[in-house]
Amino acid sequence: MKPLVLLPAFNEAARIGRVLAGIRAAAPEAAVLVVDDGSTDETAAVARAAGAHVVRLPFNLGAGVAAQTGYKFAIRAGYDCVVHLDSDGQHEPADIPALLAVIARREADVAIGSRFLGAADYRPGALRRTGMGMFGLLTWLLTGERYSDVTSGFRAFGGDVVRFVATEWYPTDYADADVLITLRRAGYRLKEVPVRMYARAGGRSMHAGLRPVYYVFKMLLSVALAPLRREVFERKGS
Amino acid sequence: MAELTLHQTVFALTISLVAFVFVLELVRRRRLREEYSWLWLLTAGAMVLLAVWYRLLILITRIVGAVTPLNTLLLCAVLFLFAIAVHYSMIISRLASQVKNLAQELALLSARVERHE
């Protein structure tokens, strides 16, 4: 297996160095790619100095598009497994091998890092917990399966999945629970793995303002259109 | 309300023809791409048709059950604007997806070029 660790980054120069050092210590055999999503600070230089591959988007396109750029890179460079984690230090690099192991042993096509499984001690605030509960419920309605952490961005994809998420089917505009639902719908096997996550040290949250409203709308649309899209998903492999 | 006066017909026809010629002129000067012009030409063409053939408007008014020809015109106007707005949304969606793919391609290619320098 040839794994790639993928970190989309937007103005994370201050924090990404420590994350990259953590990755090197935890998974020294894995290549690391930082996709700089149009940062205006020294993110790319810091990443390059730490020995990571760096791909710079010409302007800010959002975390989903940045991640997809990384999947396209992985396909072209011949990587057959991609671990995605945040560049701001929320995700513990020491848990990367646990996600990789799921893909390597072919237990599943997608390994999702869950902060609520096992010995995790993550305690979100009330608002965030409500949001997560809502997304969890929607995911359950759409897939018929329970996942403990549907908004987790800490996950590993096997080769087939990487090829799938590099197509236009990848929901780039709000890429957490929707990715999980899309992949489940497309017939991939998902498995949750306990990981550690930390609260953000400042900065903006993904789930603030009107975004949850838009998210629910998108999910409802997804339910309504699912029967019409089924054939397309079934052709995913070709 | 059965007929327009000559005054009204001339006015309506002039406006409709100006609109039609304006769109054609934009296409001729390559300010508007042919593939995006058809909905506007259709709109302007319908305006010309209704201006010279007022009885058609009255017939449509009877068919849709509107009270006055003005209601029919307003309904048509709203439907055309709706169609044009949706048409634009489709074009914008396609453009956004193309811009995204181009930006990704550019990023991946420049990373490769930098490696070889």
Q: Which residue of chain B is at minimal alpha-carbon distance from A170?
A: B97
So what's the pLDDT on residue A226?
Answer: 64
In angstroms, rounded to a whole number, what is the distance separating the alpha carbons of residues A165 and A156? Answer: 12
Contact B104 A76 (CB under 8 A): no
Contact A65 B108 (CB under 8 A): no
Tell me the pTM. Answer: 0.81
The domain segmentation of chain B, as residue ranges, is: 6-84
Q: Do A194 and A147 contact (CB within 8 A), yes or no? A: no
A111 vs A237, higher pLDDT: A111
pLDDT given at position A229? 64
Burial B54-75 (b: 16+ CB within 10 A, else e): beebbebbeeeebeebeebbee
Chain B residue with the nearest C-alpha to that of A169 = B97
The DSSP 8-state label assigned to residue A166 in this structure reads: T
Q: What is the pLDDT of residue A119?
A: 61
Q: Please state, in angstroms and as integers, the Cα–Cα distance from residue A222 to each residue in A138, A212, A219, B66, following that order.
A: 11, 15, 5, 38
Give the mean pLDDT of B15-31: 89
Smallest CA-to-CA distance from A195 within A75, A98, A69, A103 is with: A98
pLDDT score for A137: 81
Q: Which residues in chain B have their CB less than 8 angstroms from residue A64's CB?
A: none
pLDDT, tens digit, 9 for 90 and up, residues B62-98:
998 988 888 888 888 899 889 889 989 999 999 999 9
Chain A residues within an 8 Å CB radius of B107: 35, 55-58, 69
Question: How many domains does one find in chain A?
Answer: 1
B30 or A126: which leads in pLDDT: B30
pLDDT at residue A228 tops 80: no
Task: Tell me how crowded residue A120 is: count the other CB atoms within 10 A of its CB.
Answer: 16
Q: How far is B63 from chain A (nearest CA, A)?
A: 34
Residue type for position A169: W
What mean pLDDT comes out for the span A150-163?
91
Q: Tell me which residue range forms the domain holding A74.
A: 3-234
Tell the residue number behind the tokens 């699912």, with chain if given.
A226
Give the minimum alpha-carbon distance from B111 to chain A in angstroms, rounded to a whole number: 5
Beta bridge partners of A35: A8, A55
Q: How far is CA A155 from CA A37, A79, A123, B78, in A?
A: 19, 16, 20, 48
| Rg, C-alpha atoms of chain B | 22
CB contact under 8 A, A61 and B106: no
As a whole number of angstroms, the distance between CA A7 and CA B9 comes to: 66
**Across the interface, which of A55, A59, A61 has its CB nearest the CB of B108?**
A55
Q: How far is B108 from chain A (nearest CA, A)?
A: 6
Which H or E run contains A4? strand A3-9
Model confidence at A206: pLDDT above 60: no
Over residues A118-152, the pLDDT tens digits come to 665 666 777 777 777 777 887 887 778 888 888 78
Residue A237 binned pLDDT confidence (cut-offs 50, 70, 90): very low
Q: Do A57 and B111 touch (CB under 8 A)?
A: no
Residues of B in contact with A76 (CB under 8 A): 108
How close is the nearest chain A Cα to the Cα of B96, in Å?
Answer: 10
A201 vs A179 pLDDT, higher one: A179
CB atoms within 10 A of CB A150: 25
Interval A10-51: pLDDT, tens: 999 999 999 999 999 999 999 999 999 999 999 999 999 999
Chain B residues whose beta carbon lies within 8 Å of the beta carbon of residue A53: 111
Q: A170, A64 in Cβ contact below 8 A?
A: yes
Distances (CA, A) of B1 to B57, B76, B81: 11, 19, 26
Q: What is the pLDDT of chain B when averaged over all its residues?
A: 88
Number of helices (H), then strands (E), in chain B: 4, 0
CA A146 to chain centroid: 18
**Sign of the C-alpha dihedral computed for residues A206, A53, A69 and A145 taken in this order:** negative
The CA distance from A141 to A161, in Å, is: 22
Task: Chain B: give the shortest CA distance to residue A25, in Å.
Answer: 25
* Chain B interface disruption, residue of A65, A75, A170, most B CBs within 10 A: A65
Cβ within 8 Å, pair B108-A76: yes
